A and B are shown apart, each in its own frame.
Chain A
Amino acid sequence: MDNCLEINSLNKIFNNVEAVKNISFRIKKNEIIGLLGPNGCGKTTTMGMILGLLKPTSGTIFINNKEIEKNKIEILKKINFISPYIELPKKLTVQQNLNIYGKLYGIKNIKKKIEYLCEKLRLNEIIYKITGELSSGQKNRVSLAKAVINDPILLLLDEPTASLDPETGDYVRSFLENYQKEKANSILLASHNMNEVERLCSSIFLMKAGSIIDSGKPKELISKHGRKNLEEVFLKLTRKNEFD
């Protein structure tokens, strides 16, 4: 019963195309799990269903033992999401954005929470700046602040370091590592950066064409497939049958 996320036989069909095919997996409390796969394999669709943005064609999703379809608002208070494809309102200051999302997530002492996030994510210098005028790295840190403002028990990260320079990418990874240890929450990370996945994730699920084709601890997968690193495993599994 210590599952944070439990997905059972999940399917999603768009216009007769199966985007997600009968996937099942679990994330225990206090662990970081990677969701890997080539573009269009169903990672974002899966995350969309976990967030309640998409209605599954069939299957169930339980977060903290509660089904999302039946307890949406209660669950949304406890989870959060970050993706490079969504942004915070560009014309507002960082402080205004965090204040708004603090209210939307029902945070009690928003001022104190923003001060904490500023400290943790080095936002003090940019807190009164217009969000749209920030650099990619700064925007990413602000989005991270919004994503952890409600201390989510489950944090969904869709390519959180895409388009970041190596230093900022490393900073974000360190933040996530420390944050997860401090809050003991669970994270589902979708990424194309194999080093990132190896560093952060205790286990991974590899998706291809809507299905989970393999899963396990990164080192176990490398050894199982006789490869040097996770990237080679990824290439082997995702290219299989494509060029054979």
Chain B
Amino acid sequence: MNLIRMYGLFLRHFYLIKGSLPRVLDLIYWPSIQIILWGFISKFFTNYSDYYNNTIGVILTCAILYDFLFRSSISFNMLFLEEIWSRNFTNLFIAPLTTKEIITSLIFTALIRTLIGLVPAIILTSPLFGVSILKLGIPLLFLFLSLYIFGITLGIMVSSGLLRYGPSFENIAWSSLFLLAPLGCIYYPIDILPNFFQILAKVLPLVYIFDEARNILINGSVNYSNIFYAYFLNIIYLCLSIILFYVSFSKAREKGTLINMGE
């Protein structure tokens, strides 16, 4: 893999963000609003429910983790959509970039984009609600990485659809995570789901990640088997998504989607 070429692709998106204050504000605005909203909802639960000892911390931490997942996935998709909207797609695919270089560069760029949006929101939670996600300690890094891998996996899957079907697949890009959210058991234990949905939920790494986040905050202990299952499933889905991307790229070359891709 050529680092300079990957840096070139990173620069394409870095310049875009750097040159536009509204774009930066937009990146920060949605996670902040989301977290403030969940902060108040959590505060309400704290006052009127005794299910959790630490409701505000649990719900808000899960909200932050979910937002991190959501932003990672959307960031990856956005990088692809930007190329379609700007009609630069063909230029990119006739440049001497390997598929590996494209995916790697976009994974790194999506992380930067995600952090720009989420770090200010995380900082806000401490003065506003007295909650610090750092309470999760070292396992927080494992949870974040696991969520990031799954977010990127979804991003690669949706981008495969964009490659294969073109801009008409855009709506799926926006809705993919909303579809998985109920099964991810972000704010509630898996037992809440009907039996059939529990079976589906168990094959998603999200269930193990959010279950572990709640476990750490409520019980103050770490169940590494949850983290292990999450990574195990993540690796399987990531490999599948990369295979899907290669297959979609090959199909796009057969069907001609790469030519004149644009709105």
Using known A-B contacts A81-B94, A106-B4, determine if residue A89 contacts B256 with beta carbons closer than 8 Å: no
A86: contacting residue among B2, B7, B87, CB under 8 A:
B87
On chain A, the residues within 8 Å of B255 by CB distance are 14
On chain A, the residues within 8 Å of B86 by CB distance are 87-91
Q: Is A104 in contact with B19, judged by CB distance below 8 angstroms?
A: no
On chain B, the residues within 8 Å of A87 by CB distance are 86-88, 91
Q: Does A146 contact B (CB under 8 A)?
A: yes
- Which of A85-129 touch B at CB < 8 Å? 85-93, 96, 99-106
On chain B, the residues within 8 Å of A73 by CB distance are 96-98
Q: Is B5 in contact with A104, judged by CB distance below 8 angstroms?
A: yes
Q: How far, in angstroms, from A69 to B82 measured CA to CA in the complex?
A: 28
A89: contacting residue among B5, B16, B98, B260, CB under 8 A:
B16
- Which of A53-103 touch B at CB < 8 Å? 53-55, 73-74, 76-77, 79-81, 83, 85-93, 96, 99-103
Residues of B within 8 A of A (CB): 2, 4-5, 7-9, 11-12, 15-16, 19-20, 82, 86-98, 250, 253-256, 258-260, 262
**Besides A48-B258, A86-B88, A103-B8, 19 other A-B contacts (C-beta < 8 A):** A14-B256, A55-B253, A73-B96, A79-B94, A80-B94, A85-B262, A86-B87, A86-B89, A86-B260, A91-B20, A93-B15, A96-B11, A96-B19, A100-B12, A100-B15, A101-B95, A104-B92, A104-B96, A106-B5
Q: How far is the CB of B169 from chain A (nearest CB, A)?
A: 18
Q: Is B250 in contact with A55, judged by CB distance below 8 angstroms?
A: yes
Q: Is B91 in contact with A86, judged by CB distance below 8 angstroms?
A: yes
On chain B, the residues within 8 Å of A51 by CB distance are 94
On chain A, the residues within 8 Å of B88 by CB distance are 86-89
Q: Could you list 29 A-B pairs, sorted by A, with CB under 8 Å?
A: A14-B255, A44-B260, A51-B94, A53-B256, A54-B254, A54-B256, A54-B259, A73-B98, A83-B90, A85-B87, A86-B87, A86-B88, A86-B90, A86-B91, A86-B260, A87-B91, A88-B91, A89-B16, A96-B15, A99-B11, A100-B9, A101-B95, A103-B4, A103-B8, A104-B9, A104-B96, A104-B97, A106-B4, A106-B96
Q: How far, in angstroms, from A122 to B20 measured CA to CA in the complex?
A: 27
Q: How far is the CB of B116 from chain A (nearest CB, A)?
A: 17
How many residues of chain A have a CB within 8 Å of chain B? 36
Candidate in A81, A104, A146 with the most chain B CB atoms within 10 angstroms = A104
Q: Is B16 in contact with A53, judged by CB distance below 8 angstroms?
A: no
B11: contacting residue among A76, A85, A100, CB under 8 A:
A100
On chain A, the residues within 8 Å of B92 by CB distance are 104
On chain B, the residues within 8 Å of A88 by CB distance are 86, 88, 91
On chain A, the residues within 8 Å of B11 by CB distance are 96, 99-100, 103
Q: How far, in angstroms, from A52 to B93 measured CA to CA in the complex?
A: 9
Q: Is A48 in contact with B259, judged by CB distance below 8 angstroms?
A: yes
Please, which residue of chain B has its CB at the minimum distance from the CB of A79?
A: B94
Q: Is B19 in contact with A53, judged by CB distance below 8 angstroms?
A: no
Q: How far is the CB of A244 from chain B (nearest CB, A)?
A: 32
Q: Which 10 A-B pairs have the closest CB atoms?
A: A103-B8, A76-B96, A55-B253, A104-B95, A86-B90, A104-B8, A77-B96, A87-B87, A53-B258, A96-B15
B16: contacting residue among A44, A92, A99, CB under 8 A:
A92
Q: How far, in angstroms, from A100 to B87 measured CA to CA in the complex?
A: 16
Q: How far, in angstroms, from A89 to B89 measured CA to CA in the complex?
A: 9
Q: How far is the CB of A96 from chain B (nearest CB, A)?
A: 5
